[in-house]
Structure 1
Amino acid sequence: MYLEQLHLTRFRNYFNCSVAFEAQTIILLGNNAQGKSNLLEAVELLATLKSHRTSKDQDLIFQNEAIAQIEAVVKRLYRENTLTLTLRQKGRRTVALDREKLRRKTDFLGALNAVQFSSLDLDLVRGSPDKRRNWLDALLIQIEPIYAYILQEYNRVLRQRNALLKTIRKSLYEVSESNQVDNSTWEQLALWDAQLAANGSRVMRRRARVLERLTPIAQKWHNQISDHTEQLNLIYTANVTWSEDDPQQVQQAILDRIKLRQAAEQNLGTTVVGPHRDEVEFNINETPARSYGSQGQQRTLVLALKLAELELIETVVGEPPLLLLDDVLAELDLQRQNQLLSAIANRFQTIITTTHLNSFDQQWLKSSQVLTVDNGSLS
């Protein structure tokens, strides 16, 4: 997989910028706040239709412009595609493949695969559970694009059920004449329970499966980087228990848990059962890395996870994804830098942002395309 061209129009601080990538390794050199990360964000959006920096399209559009566009030419093993993402201040974003507008965004996902590793990812270990859930979901979308729709459907059901629970809470606990809920409301809640269980089962089972596939790959990299001194384990901790990867069994486990927590849900007015409450645990030598891991251990862990992501995506899609390294080399010591660079070798097309070239080996620089980024322009 090779990114040949990228054209940014009114995106972030790029008013109109085209670049042709001519090497396996591209280094974006420049001071802070010049647009290096913005360029990587554009590639990330083409790969996942998400940005890890914002959830609002308006934030991605140049100043007061109405529309922004990201266009890229991607060379795959057996084909070449032109990808276009159009963002709007008002109205929905649209996607096009080879200039043909797509009705379903899931048909766009998978045209480009990329793994991003930024300094923000070092918070993956110590951060809140939703960071780890989002990381796992982003990986799933890359290898199984239909998962984006599954997750969207689950979140839609969750919003509707939460709205109904708020209504029930108001009827039961706030001052009113009857302090009662009519039968039709309880029947409606039962319907949302069933939908939550069905959609939640799809999310939970896929998360558990992908983590099961990722774990041995991450363990291999972690052993190598830590010089076989530490044992890594990744555990998907769902808030319901099941023994088999069976849709009916997982759905029933969710429904049983809902019944058990119904008083708490009605009191809080929100859903407390489901994959939105699950956790991904990282343990080093059977100790939670979040609580006890040193900074060095945490960096090793995240580096192992990113290398495992690359390898898993390559295995599933049949060709290597892009690697986006956003200001991350400065966060790694020399040993971890060398581990990362040797693992990349010439296997993955890599785009790296940096404020200086001192940390790069001369041989690397000779074979790399170095682009200077200055206030939204490239040279």
Structure 2
Amino acid sequence: MYVRGLELVDFRSYARVVVELGPGPCVLVGPNGVGKTNLVEALAYVATLESHRVATDAPLVRFGTARAVIRCAVVHEERELLIELSIEPGKANRARLGRSPVTRTRDILGALRLVLFAPEDLSLIRGDPSERRRYLDELLVARQPRFAGVRSDYDRVLKQRNALLRSAYLARKTGGSRGGDLSTLDVWDAHLARHGAQLVRARLDLVAGLAPHVAKAYSAVSASRSDARISYAPSFGLQDDLEQALLAALSESRPSEIERGVTLVGPHRDELTLTLGEMPAKGYASHGESWSYALALRLAAYDLLRDDGIEPVLILDDVFAELDAGRRDRLAALVGEASQVVVTCAVEDDVPAGLRGARFLVGGGEVQRV
């Protein structure tokens, strides 16, 4: 799989730009701040329907305009598919596949398989558990797009349940005699347990398949003898029937949840544990080790997707400037044979010779192939 062409209209800093790409390495060169990351962010948005840089869609739309449009031509097994997204903050986004509208925007998920490594990925190692949960769920959806619906259903139920707990908490704090009406809490527990069990089971299976790839990728990138290991740490006790286990945990934690006004157990509280040797990576890994670990997580995702039978597009956004010469060369050797690698850089000499394929100059709102 590779991206043949990308067109942006009123996306980020671009009024309109068209980029003709191709298989193999594609290097986007230009000073910092000229829009290189905006281009790869648009590609990643097509693949995930999320930005890796911001939490909402509003910053994606060029200032002073009402909507942004992304058009992306993807080639897989010699067949080309046009994907079009219209991003309209405050309204439902719209999408087309092959020029035909889709019922739901998430129906385009899976049309472009892509793995992006960016400087923000250091938060996978150093950041909050939510960053690692997001990593798992994005990979889960990339492999099985139906889980976008499972995530959406779980988030909807969690929001409703938290609203019920919060209203009861506020009623009690303001002197309500009964502390709010919790008569429907059992119903929301059942919904949360059903959707949550599906999500946890899928994450457990994903981590089991991902773990050997992470260990292999870390060893290859870092040339270190330390083992990189990942494991899933749930917020409740596991058993064969995950739905019943989550229901039991919700029942047990109910007094504390009512006291605090928030749901305390479920996949939104779980953790992906990262260790390096015998120590947790967070707080103990050096800067270089953290970069290597973050790279290993993304390369492991790439390998797992490739094992599914469709080789994804790989994007390395401003990566090589942060790596020493040894790590640069080892990374280039690992990804040099990928069907398409899109690299962004401010200094072309930072990119190893094995990845210097098609070259594009980015600046002044334009992208020129040279």
Q: Which TM-score band (shorter chain)?
A: over 0.9
- What is residue 256 of structure 2 aligned with on the other side? 264
1:376 equivalenced with 2:369 (yes/no): no
Residue type at the aligned position of 2:316: L
**Partners of 2:354 and 2:216 in 1: CA distance:** 27
How far apart are the structure 2 equivalents of 1:363 and 1:169?
Answer: 60
**TM-score (norm. length: structure 1):** 0.93
Q: What is the number of residues matched between the two proteins? A: 368
> Given the alignment, which residue of 277, 281, 285 partners 1:285?
277
Residue 362 of structure 1: CA displacement?
Answer: 4.1
Amino acid at match of 1:347: A
After superposition, give the CA deviation of every residue in 1:276-296 in whole Å (9 maximum; x if it has no partner): 111111011121111222222
Question: Amino acid of the residue matched to residue 83 of structure 2?
Answer: L
Q: How far off is 1:363 after superposition?
A: 5.3
Displacement of 1:55 in angstroms is: 2.6
Q: Give the secondary structure class of the aligned counterpart of 2:55.
A: coil
Quick check: 1:310 aligned with 2:302? yes
Task: Write out aligned runs for 1:15-30 (5 A).
Answer: 15-30=15-30
Which of residues 309, 316, 324 is equivalent to 1:325? 316
Give the match's secondary structure for 1:158. Answer: helix
* Residue 354 of structure 1: aligned partner: 345
Distance 1:375 1:232, change over 3 A: same
Task: Give the whole-Å Cα distance in 2 for the aligned partners of 1:94 and 1:65.
Answer: 17
Structure 1 segments unaligned to the other structure (5+ residues): none
Separation in 2 of the partners of 1:299 and 1:361? 17
Q: Measure, in 1, the Cα distance between the counterparts of 2:26 and 2:171.
A: 60
Query: In the alignment, which residue of structure 2 is the partner of 1:216?
Result: 212
Q: 1:363 to 1:175 in 2, by over 3 A?
A: closer
Inter-partner Cα distance in structure 1 for 2:325 and 2:148? 37
Given that 1:106 and 1:146 are in contact with CA atoms closer than 8 Å, whether structure 2 keeps it comes out as no
Aligned-residue Cα RMSD (Å) equals 1.5
Cα offset for 1:30?
Answer: 0.8
Matching residue within 229, 233, 242 for 2:238: 242
Q: Deviations over 1:165-195 (max 9, x none)?
A: 112223334313x2355xxx43311000111
CA displacement 1:63-108 (0-9 Å, x = unmatched): 1111210001110025320000011144211111001010023321
Runs of 5+ in structure 2 lacking a partner? Answer: none
| Pairwise CA distance, 1:4 | 0.5
Q: Distance in 1 between matches of 2:97 and 2:173?
A: 52
Aligned residue type for 1:179? R
Letter in 1 for 2:139: L
Closer/same/farther in 2, CA of residues 371 and 168 from structure 1, 3 Å limit:
same
Aligned-residue identity in percent: 33
Deviation string, structure 1 residues 317-354 (Cα, Å, up to 9, x no partner): x1210111111111111111111111111223011111
Matched, 1:60 2:60: yes
Which amino acid in the other structure matches residue 238 of structure 2?
Answer: W
Task: Name the structure 2 match of 1:336.
Answer: 327
In structure 1, distance between residues paired with 2:41 and 2:17: 15
2:336 partner amino acid? A
Distance 1:284 1:34 in 2: 37
Paired with 1:221 and 1:57, the residues of 2 have a C-alpha distance of: 33
Paired residues for 1:1-379 under 5 Å: 1-77=1-77, 79-176=79-176, 178-181=177-180, 185-227=181-223, 229-244=225-240, 249-316=241-308, 318-362=309-353, 364-365=355-356, 368-379=357-368
Q: 1:33 to 1:180 in 2, by over 3 A?
A: closer
Q: How many angstroms does 1:271 deviate by?
A: 0.7
Rounded Cα–Cα distance in structure 2 between residues aligned with 1:309 and 1:146:
18
